A and B are shown apart, each in its own frame.
Chain A
Amino acid sequence: MTLLRDIASGDSCRLLEIGGEAGFRRRLLELGLVPGTHLRVVRRVPVGGLVELEVRRCRVTLRTSEADQVHVEKD
């Protein structure tokens, strides 16, 4: 199991599981981050601590600290 932070910018991965509290998990699920979905890390902003993902042609940005709740496996 890999964390989202280990995926390089531009690389893809497959979502395995989202942890964290129910509200946060439900929000991500409903934005299309369902286990089994393929994600692409679009960009990281190290200064702001943000990571932008592409899933189902949509873009979602998370804070790096919260992105640690997202477990993935490399493609």
Chain B
Amino acid sequence: MTVATAAPLVALAGNPNAGKSALFNRLTGGNARVANYPGLTVEREEGRVRLGAAGEVRLLDVPGTYSLAARSEDERIALFAVAGLPPLEAPDAVLVVLDATQLARHLYLALQVIELDAPVVVAVNLVDTLAKEGLEIDRAALERDLGVPVVFVSALTGAGVQDLRATLARVLANPDSARPGPRWVPQDPRLLGWIDEVGSAVPADWHRSNDRRRRALALWALLSLEEGDELTHVPESLRRAALAATDAAKSALRNLDEEIVRGRYAWIDEREGRFVRAKSRTGLSATDRADRFLLHPALGFALFVGLMAVVFQSLFAWADPVIGWIELAFAWLGDSVRTLLPEGLLTDLAVDGVIAGVGGVLVFLPQILLLFFFIGLMEDTGYMARVAFIMDRLMRIVGLHGRAFVPMLSAYACAVPAILGTRTMERQRDRFLTMMSLPLMTCSARLPVYGLLIAAFAAPGEGNPMTQGLLLTGMYLFGTFMALAAAAVLGRTVLKGKRMPLLLQMPPYRRPHLASIWRRMTTRTGIFVKQAGSVILVCSVLIWALLTFPRSPPSDTTAAAIKVAQAEQAERPSPETEARLADLESEAAGEQLRKSYAGRFGQVIEPAIAPLGFDWKIGVGLVGAFAAREVFVSTMAVVYNVEAAADETNVTLRERIRDARWPDGRAVFTPLVCLSLMVFFALACQCMSTLAVVKRETNSWRWPAFLFAYNGALAWVCSFAVFQGGKLLGFD
């Protein structure tokens, strides 16, 4: 390991749409290690690049940004990674990717990086699209003006990547050849004075006795720090110096930040004519022609709705058969293990705890992969920026980012991939707000529960035939409304953020790079399996234990009856004895469950859930449902002594549930209780996988704890209101 980490570190920086991810993929061959930056939810990806004879380097993918200046913690990491500020490792060289068709804007970032005085290599990407845009770039002229090596590449086709490797190797061997010093140098003596004042407050472990670096970091401070900014890891003395300089300049009627940005752009504007030649464009560009339809107020919206319908349909219908296969495979595996191993506790643990738990993790993969395929496609083609454009008006009403629409919609299928999908938003506050509200959307795991309860509520052929459909629709509308309301409330309270002006960059439409989409799909899935999966697995073993322990042998009468039936069945097998035996065995299983920790827990919490109309058996079901909502159905089946393998269409289970009685003879599952229970399921965060994924994405236990608490409180209050309100109104 020590030998491996000694490989030089190259930081890869670039604008969000410069094709950074595709180039990373080209250079590393798709292998990357993913972790979080310390203390943040920003992902840090690192891969290995072979430079031929020069050996290997580590390539660090810096989050996409159009400037190193930062306004949020997430943006701060770009500077810290490129400049190697403590506690981050200093890179040995920085590779800056630019979009050839948007050179002027992208050069702004390159200028900032060069100012930091690390060796720099510039890769001009997307050179294959230049001709179509009527542009021509003079590489040698650009190289002369920038003073660092410039390589033309196409991450899509791989052209120029070999050249880029050679250039990197050359620069690493001779670093000073790619450190030309700042390109734009302020001339105004007063401006220089202010910059140097701030520079003297730059800490020693930041500038490392390099005056160019010191001045570059002073410029960064002047552009990033302001009264009440949220940046951490910035020394207070530096912040004070930057604010003092800004104030001093203000009283001299000057805006320091504007002068700095203007200075850099002036440098670019003066030279752009030397290295970019634009032929007169004839007619509209391809992007403009596409946007005439895709951003059209009516047609664009219709096309968006159509596209979302495909995404939605695929998460539901296309993923379903694969999910079925995974479930079948694990059921088969469980059965095989049961036949191989002797009956006993260890086998139960292996089958019901571990194998079921691993299956419960892998079952999410089809939907995660599909969702990330669509998100990758939308991001890489440039359509994702348009989604925010189209949805801004609607999502703004509840305080969500326009891009939150895709995760919110995916949550109808399952909250787990949807929470992973919040990555598409750059701001932490937007991601967290979406994560905290979308679990209230009606996911597909709630359907079996609703199915059972609606059937218990109104049996088919009884009463109004429309009741069932209306109820289900009502539950969907209720979930959606509550999710949006939660977003509106949380966005104004717990996750109150500074109102951010909308600034969307609209990249030109591009052909997507499938290999890099695939890499993101697999890394994302890998992270889920490793980090959320382990939590899910531990929880499912824990829940299994709660439902299994303490072991209690069947009561003497049941045990005796089973023995008799077994003996009879061995002597004279008949369908009647077999049925009686099965009944007795489910009775034993029911007894076992009722005496287990979960069963006792259900009895302990009965006073708390009785005001909602629930008895302790429902309480046991709620414990089981924590493994996954649909498990409620099978747990109820065991509690009610129904044969195993029951599902929501099982007639016996429905009948048993309708026949269930309180000790005083009242029916348990009255229509009102069913409604109250459905409301509870709509709101309670009865899903350990959701919580595990929130833990992984927020990098703390605080947010999943909050989600669980507020969903639970909301569920209790609403169910209470439904049940007690219904009783007051005379329903039963």
Chain A residues with CB under 8 Å of chain B are: 20, 22-32, 34-37, 42-43, 45-50, 52, 55-63, 66
Contacts and interface: CB of A to CB of B under 8 A. Distances in A.
Name the prevailing secondary structure of the A interface residues.
Answer: mixed
A61 B727 CA distance: 54
Given A30-B108, A31-B66, A32-B265, A60 B102 contact: no
Interface stretch (B502-510, B560-568, B717-725): B502-510
Which 10 A-B pairs have CB atoms at the shortest separation, nearest pair first?
A: A59-B506, A61-B504, A29-B261, A56-B104, A48-B393, A30-B67, A66-B501, A58-B105, A34-B262, A24-B501
A23 to B, nearest CB: 5
A32 B105 contact: yes
Contacts of B67: 30
Nearest to B301: A47
Contacts of B262: 29, 34-36
Interface in B494-542: 498, 501-508
Contacts of B101: 57
Choose among B288, B389, B506 the residue with the greatest number of A CB atoms under 10 Å from its CB.
B506
A49 B502 CA distance: 11
B389 A34 contact: no
Contact of B390 (A24, A32, A48, A58): A48
Contacts of A42: 288
Contacts of B506: 52, 59-61
Contacts of B223: 26, 30
Contacts of A28: 503
A23 B258 contact: no
Contacts of B71: 23, 26-27
Contacts of A58: 102, 104-105, 505
A44 B104 CA distance: 25
B297 A60 contact: no
A50 B389 contact: yes
A23 B712 CA distance: 38
A56 B266 CA distance: 12
A22 to B, nearest CB: 5
A38 B389 CA distance: 23
Contacts of A20: 501
B69 interface: yes
A46 to B, nearest CB: 8
B503 A34 contact: no
A40 B393 CA distance: 23
Contacts of A37: 265
A45 B295 contact: yes
Interface in B382-398: 389-390, 392-393
A56 B105 CA distance: 7
A45 B102 contact: no
A22 B505 contact: no
A47 B393 contact: yes
A30 B393 CA distance: 25
B257 interface: yes
B226 interface: yes
5 contacts: A22-B226, A27-B501, A30-B69, A43-B295, A57-B101
A26 B242 CA distance: 15
Nearest to B498: A23
A31 B258 contact: no
Contacts of B508: 59
Contact of B505 (A45, A49, A59): A59
Contact of A31 (B266, B291, B503): B503
Interface string B602-641: 0000000000000000000000000000000000000000
A63 B501 CA distance: 8
